[in-house]
Amino acid sequence: MNETFTDAQIAAFLKRSYFAVDGLWFVKAEGRHGLAEAMDLDEAVWEIMPKVQAREAAKLLDIEGGSLQAIQLGFSFKLTAEGYDFDMETSGDEVRFIVKMCPWYEVLKSSDRTHLSESIADRICVKEFSGWTKELAPDAEFQLCSRLCVESDNSECCRLVFRQLNDEQGEV
């Protein structure tokens, strides 16, 4: 059987599978090894995943790494592909992403797992977004300035700041 499927159908299927497998393996690891070990494993995975993603984005979009412009294009591609609602601002030596809706947080809410949000933001998001920085703009730094998913932050968005370092600010 040889059906014709649209790119949108295939993308929707793969996106749903991507989110599902991330959650399923975590729940299974947590059940077998406990929450602490599952979080350690998740952090190890998300230390490597941004390398894979950023390199593929660079290849697909013909991005030359090493600049904030690479972050603008590559990271926008990532957020768009995963279904984030975000705005991007640039000024001087900074690129800022203002995330108004995070699909990962939506998954946590729908599965009644928001108690993990702060740990995920601090361990996984920081690791992942720093990984994108290292791949696409090694002379830049990443800072998570506010977290949508952490109730005590009282924030309506995540603020992700990518800042170009100069020689006086130190080496990356």
Average pLDDT rounded to a whole number, residues 145-171: 86
The Cα–Cα gap between 149 and 115 comes to 10
State the pairing for strand pair 158-164/140-146: antiparallel
Structure confidence at residue 25 (pLDDT): 92
Amino acid type, 143: Q
Average pLDDT rounded to a whole number, residues 47-73: 93
Show the domain range for 104.
8-169
Going by pLDDT thresholds of 50, 70 and 90, the confidence category of residue 66 is confident
- Percentage of the chain lying above the pLDDT 70 cut: 95
Question: Domain of 53: which CATH number?
Answer: 3.30.1380.20
**Is 71 within the bounds of a domain?**
yes
**Is 106 within the bounds of a domain?**
yes
Radius of gyration of the chain (CA): 17
81 in Cβ contact with 90 (< 8 Å): no
pTM of the predicted protein model? 0.89
**Is 2 within the bounds of a domain?**
no
For residue 135, which of 44, 67, 84 has the smallest C-alpha distance? 67
Q: Using the predicted structure, report yes or no on whether residue 50 has a pLDDT greater than 90.
A: yes
Tokens, residue 9: 């159908």
Helices in 88-158 by DSSP H: which ranges?
A: 103-110, 117-119, 126-136
Q: Using the predicted structure, report yes or no on whether residue 169 has a pLDDT greater than 80.
A: no
Tokens, residue 32: 């077998």
Average pLDDT rounded to a whole number, residues 123-150: 95
User: pLDDT, tens digit, for every residue of 18-43?
Assistant: 999 999 999 999 999 999 999 999 99
**Is 94 within the bounds of a domain?**
yes
Q: Using the predicted structure, report yes or no on whether residue 117 has a pLDDT greater than 60.
A: yes
**Is 3 within the bounds of a domain?**
no
Going by pLDDT thresholds of 50, 70 and 90, the confidence category of residue 172 is very low
User: pLDDT, tens digit, for every residue of 71-116?
Assistant: 999 999 999 999 999 999 999 899 999 999 999 999 999 999 999 9
**Is 144 within the bounds of a domain?**
yes
The Cα–Cα gap between 77 and 57 comes to 7
Total number of domains in the chain: 1
**Is 148 within the bounds of a domain?**
yes
**Is 143 within the bounds of a domain?**
yes
55 in Cβ contact with 78 (< 8 Å): no
Structure confidence at residue 151 (pLDDT): 86
Going by pLDDT thresholds of 50, 70 and 90, the confidence category of residue 160 is very high
